[in-house]
Structure 1
Amino acid sequence: MAEGVDTGDDLFESLRKQVDPKKLEEKAKAQAEREAAQSAKAAQRLGELIGSNSSLPVTISSIRLIGASHTRRSFLDRIFDPILTANRDKAYTLQEALQEVGSATDKLRRFEIYHPSLSTFVDRPDPTDPNSSPTDIDVYIQARERGRISLKTGTDLGNVEGSAYGNLTWRNILGGAESLNLNASAGTRTRSAYQATFDTPILSDPDKRATVDVLASSTLKPWSSHEEVLKGAGAKYSWATKSGTRHQVGYTGMWRQVTGLAANASPTVRTDAGDSVKSSIIHTWFADRRDHPFLPTRGYYMKTVSEIAGWGPLQGDVAFWKSELETSAAIPIPILGIKGDSGVSLTGGIRGGMLYPLAIGFGSEIKPSRINDRFQLGGPTDVRGFKMSGLGPRDGPDAVGGDIYAAASANLLMPFPRVGKDTPLRLQLFANAGRLLALQDGKKSTSQSFYSTAAQIGDGLPSIAAGFGVVYAHPVARFELNFSLPLALRKGEEGRKGLQFGVGINFL
């Protein structure tokens, strides 16, 4: 063979050396590191430039949103017009201008009609433009709209129920961040549930929203030997305060049916069987200062729900005042030998509620509460170690609910050994207690019966359970698998010794 001519094997060997996967991977890694270093240097230079010119006077002459083809101009004007210098009494410094633009961009992001990665650029206008001044800056915001229509289907398993669901969401319907959500589900306990919700921000403010919804559902309640069918509609208005707390006030009209009674249904359930109409106004307030909604290590949470039904002009055939208070707090537990956050935390929670019967409309007759409206207590998401609705008054085989309740829980959460505190898994030790009571019928007035029943909450030991388990914090819900042991039960109540599985977003 002539000298200097490669054989086929030599050629392939030469090519292999040039395209060695390990070398290519090393080159790509080195290139990524160089680009990251360049980006970091650019960000540092930009920060230094802004820092050294933070007091430089500037005027925002224009703001342009790129990529918002389905958002109407009037909706955006309410967000951006107030920060244009032409609409202000005084000029900005560069730092103030960037802060205002950042706040407006964050507000735009919270409407959830764009992908979160909004990019902001600042440029000088054309110096030859006679309408521009040396202090003018133009702001450009690059956005990418989310899909206007999305469809999700799936299955859920938890709280002794399996279900399949479908969700259709239509976003930015009229170009002002309006949305329409259609939900349908069917399961082993909730036989069917359908809901349509239209939601819109008020005056381009993500913290002020109006909602209208209609719903229909059919739910089996085996703990009280019946099926509940609901059909109704409501309207709500929600807003946030400057301190970060949130309020919601709304009106709901609901037609309820207690139907499908079991053969051994108790007299209490049979008395409340049939139709009822509830017309009510509901106010909800909550403040969430926790560092994580499902695995908090510090902070607190408070919530109140107040409902007035059937009183005065509301009418319907039930009337009552119903109020609930829920609060919880978490504190980190330091561990010797571990610097910083150990991942160990102690959480505690308290819930309480009361239902006070009222006269319907402007009448004087006060009727006892119905099974539809009373509180139920016990289960894997509130008082663990008890069956669903295992606490409180019973009539034969049925849990018939109560008018006054109190419950408390303490939980110690610890990271799994060799797994670390940065994972969503935790070991849990818990103890919880609760008591649920019904107003006593008799010769006493409603107020006397209410106060005497409330005084019994602290009379003697409540029902108590303790145990341990595993907690997994999924982005959309918290999962728990616990071994529970009831320690104190009142007569007729139903504890649950052994494994108990719970899924929810709000645990005691």
Structure 2
Amino acid sequence: MASSPSTGDDVLDRLKKNVDPTVLSEREVAALKRAAEHYEKARNRLKNLVDDNSTLPATISHINIDGAKNTRASFLRKVLQETFAKSREPGFTLEDALRELRRDCRTFYKFGIFHPPGLYIDSTGRENGKANLKAEISLRELSRFTLKTGTDMEGTDTGGAGGSGYLSLTYRNMFGGAESLNGYASIGTRTRSVYEVNFQAPINANPDLILETSGYASTRSHQHYSSHEEVLRGGKVGVKWGEHETGYTGVWRQITGLAEGASPVVRGDAGDSVKSSLWHTFARDRRDSHLLPTRGWMVKSESELAGWGGLGGDVAFWKSEMETQVAAPLGASGISVSAGLRGGLLYPLSTGIGDNSKPPQPSRINDRFQLGGPTDVRGFRESGLGPRYGNDSVGGDVYMSGGANIYFPLPKVGPKKPLRLQAFVNSGRLVGLQGLSEGDGNVNSSVVGAFKELSNGMPSAAAGVGLVYAHPIARFELNFCLPLVKRSGERGRKGLQLGIGINFR
């Protein structure tokens, strides 16, 4: 018996394709036809066997791995050991065997080093009243090295977009246990340069439990909204499991390249700072698409603890963000609606331990939230909401934003194409902590005051219509926006606004 639940159909389809007899000999054509008939018969035999004998007691005596020449045998055995253990348990059936073997195929595929696996099963007879099964999993390894070059667009406002060129190199299955080493380099306009080396490895041969470590250096210009550039040099180590990720980050930051008209707030934060922090993220996404969702929901949280206790560094705070989104279709019309809400808080903490501790300090521009822009709160310029000093956006410590969209399929295009007409309304508010300066003042009262200010009056808001195209690598929007509520000093964007990105709020 033979089956290929993951790739058998694709193989069969390829084998069934018409073959040009001028290219292949008659013997090769006949061989392909025989192979196609073999796959068809094997698939039908297995289907009939499962239908008729799904509760048949069974055991798996042997699993052969074919094609994984660069992968350690001990790694492969680790993946399969649970299946062998379950096959020895009482009550194990043919249906259980197929389910476990298919799970193993999915596990191999999730490592990201194989093409979709093929599964083949044979019965070698009966032993102690059980069907004795022999399986073969066919693994075709991906290329160990992948080199990519290309360009990225950084969409903000029309006429203000930036771009960059990048080069990335991936070394897969580095030590034969699904490890990967990734190198990335980028040079551009706003993101002046990025260099990163990243290493990932599964823990205990589990594709859902990943150890990750990286080092990076970057220079990014914030001149278009805050009269400075930021240079980062640091590293992180973390563990991913399921929907969670947690780890440690250490980074040396520099606020540099100040413009001549930089505000006193920006100048006060200029120079060096060191952040040493623990972080955690959680994301549960049940949407049918993260770029253009038509149904489902998503919830995400990010938390960071910096500089507290013995963590070190010269900044200390608790920073937390929460985001949620829900989408639903309106019948079978192709029209869908979505709505989202997110918020965040930066809470200053004391640094050091015992006699070396220092009281909470005001947050720095590196760490504060920024709000506004074509992928954020549409109808406002990038970082156009919240506290300002002169021409500079200086960020805030507490924010809340939300929005709602309705998507319409275009006439003669249809709902199956990732092109939509959208109408939207969104709003947001960003405020800073007041009464906290160089260790003076009460943090709790400052936070309470910030939340009161957050709810004081209407939030800044905008509405508009536009076109949305969800390309597989990014979402593109061209909107006509109209600010409805705008506070003094905030920078709205009336008219056309271009947005390019993978995370639209």
Is this a same-fold pair by TM over 0.5? yes
Q: CA deviation at 1:34?
A: 13
Name the residue aligned to 2:407. Answer: 413
Q: Compare 433-442 and 263-272 and name the one that shifted more.
A: 433-442
Structure 2 SS opposite 1:265: coil
Over 3 Å counting, the alpha-carbon distance change for 1:61 and 1:85 in structure 2 is: farther
1:76 aligns with 2:67: no
Q: CA deviation at 1:294?
A: 1.2
Which residue identity lines up with residue 118 of structure 2 in the other structure?
S
Q: Which of 486, 489, 492 is the aligned partner of 2:486?
A: 489
Q: CA deviation at 1:301?
A: 0.4
Name the residue aligned to 1:234. Answer: 236
Q: CA deviation at 1:88?
A: 3.2
Q: CA deviation at 1:433?
A: 0.2
Structure 1 SS opposite 2:75: helix
Over 3 Å counting, the alpha-carbon distance change for 1:377 and 1:37 in structure 2 is: farther
Q: Distance in 2 between matches of 1:126 and 1:155?
A: 58
Larger radius of gyration: 1
Name the residue aligned to 1:136. Answer: 132
Which residue identity lines up with residue 345 of structure 1 in the other structure?
S
1:81–1:87: 8 Å Cα contact kept in structure 2? no
Q: Compare 61-70 and 472-481 and name the one that shifted more.
A: 472-481
Q: Distance in 2 between matches of 1:387 and 1:36?
A: 59
Q: How does 1:178-193 map to 2 (within 5 A)?
A: 178-193=179-194
Equivalent residue pairs, number: 463
Q: Distance in 2 between matches of 1:467 and 1:297?
A: 19
What is the percentage of aligned positions where both structures have the same residue?
52
Name the residue aligned to 1:368. Answer: 362
Q: How does 1:254-273 map to 2 (within 5 A)?
A: 254-273=251-270
Q: Distance in 2 between matches of 1:33 and 1:481?
A: 51
Q: CA deviation at 1:298?
A: 1.1
1:385 aligns with 2:379: yes
1:85–1:91: 8 Å Cα contact kept in structure 2? no
Name the residue aligned to 1:12. Answer: none
Name the residue aligned to 1:25. Answer: none
Q: Distance in 1 between matches of 2:445 and 2:278?
A: 26
Q: How does 1:19-34 map to 2 (within 5 A)?
A: none
Q: Distance in 2 between matches of 1:410 and 1:86?
A: 49
1:59–1:91: 8 Å Cα contact kept in structure 2? no
Q: Distance in 2 between matches of 1:82 and 1:151?
A: 36
Q: CA deviation at 1:132?
A: 10
Name the residue aligned to 1:292. Answer: 289
2:57–2:130: 8 Å Cα contact kept in structure 1? no
Q: How does 1:60-99 map to 2 (within 5 A)?
A: 60-84=60-84, 88-90=88-90, 92-99=92-99
Q: CA deviation at 1:504?
A: 1.6
Which residue identity lines up with residue 374 of structure 2 in the other structure?
P
2:87–2:97: 8 Å Cα contact kept in structure 1? no
Which residue identity lines up with residue 120 of structure 1 in the other structure?
L
Which residue identity lines up with residue 90 of structure 1 in the other structure?
P
Output one character per residue of 1:339-374: Cα deviation in whole Å (capped at 9) or x when no partner.
xx3321100011100101111112142110000000
Q: How does 1:55-204 map to 2 (within 5 A)?
A: 55-84=55-84, 88-90=88-90, 92-116=92-116, 118-125=117-124, 135-159=131-155, 160-204=161-205
Which residue identity lines up with residue 145 of structure 1 in the other structure?
E
Name the residue aligned to 2:447. Answer: 450
Over 3 Å counting, the alpha-carbon distance change for 1:164 and 1:365 in structure 2 is: same
Q: Distance in 2 between matches of 1:204 and 1:85?
A: 16
Q: Compare 470-479 and 311-320 and name the one that shifted more.
A: 470-479
Q: How does 1:466-481 map to 2 (within 5 A)?
A: 466-481=463-478
Q: Distance in 2 between matches of 1:230 and 1:388?
A: 21
2:86–2:92: 8 Å Cα contact kept in structure 1? no
Output one character per residue of 1:66-90: Cα deviation in whole Å (capped at 9) or x when no partner.
1100010111111112211587332
Over 3 Å counting, the alpha-carbon distance change for 1:283 and 1:119 in structure 2 is: same
Output one character per residue of 1:408-433: Cα deviation in whole Å (capped at 9) or x when no partner.
01010111111111111111111100
Q: Compare 349-358 and 152-161 and name the one that shifted more.
A: 152-161
1:217 aligns with 2:211: no
- What TM-score do the two structures reach when normalised by structure 2? 0.88
Long gaps (5+) in structure 1 = 1-20, 22-31, 241-245, 335-340
Which residue identity lines up with residue 373 of structure 1 in the other structure?
D
Over 3 Å counting, the alpha-carbon distance change for 1:429 and 1:176 in structure 2 is: same
Where relative contact order (Cα < 8 A, 6+ residues apart) is larger, the structure is: 2
Q: Distance in 2 between matches of 1:423 and 1:294?
A: 13
Which residue identity lines up with residue 122 of structure 2 in the other structure?
D
Q: CA deviation at 1:158?
A: 2.8
- What TM-score do the two structures reach when normalised by structure 1? 0.87
Output one character per residue of 1:160-201: Cα deviation in whole Å (capped at 9) or x when no partner.
221100100000000100001101001110100011100000
Output one character per residue of 1:452-507: Cα deviation in whole Å (capped at 9) or x when no partner.
11111111111111111111111122111111111110000000111111122211
Name the residue aligned to 1:395. Answer: 389
1:290–1:297: 8 Å Cα contact kept in structure 2? yes
1:343 aligns with 2:337: no
Name the residue aligned to 1:328. Answer: 325
Q: CA deviation at 1:125?
A: 3.5
1:121–1:139: 8 Å Cα contact kept in structure 2? yes
2:251–2:276: 8 Å Cα contact kept in structure 1? yes
Which residue identity lines up with residue 75 of structure 1 in the other structure?
F
Q: Distance in 2 between matches of 1:409 and 1:357?
A: 29
Structure 2 SS opposite 1:368: coil
1:307 aligns with 2:309: no
Long gaps (5+) in structure 2 = 1-19, 21-31, 156-160
Q: Compare 132-141 and 196-205 and name the one that shifted more.
A: 132-141
Q: How does 1:421-460 map to 2 (within 5 A)?
A: 421-441=415-435, 444-460=441-457
Q: CA deviation at 1:322?
A: 0.4
2:59–2:130: 8 Å Cα contact kept in structure 1? no
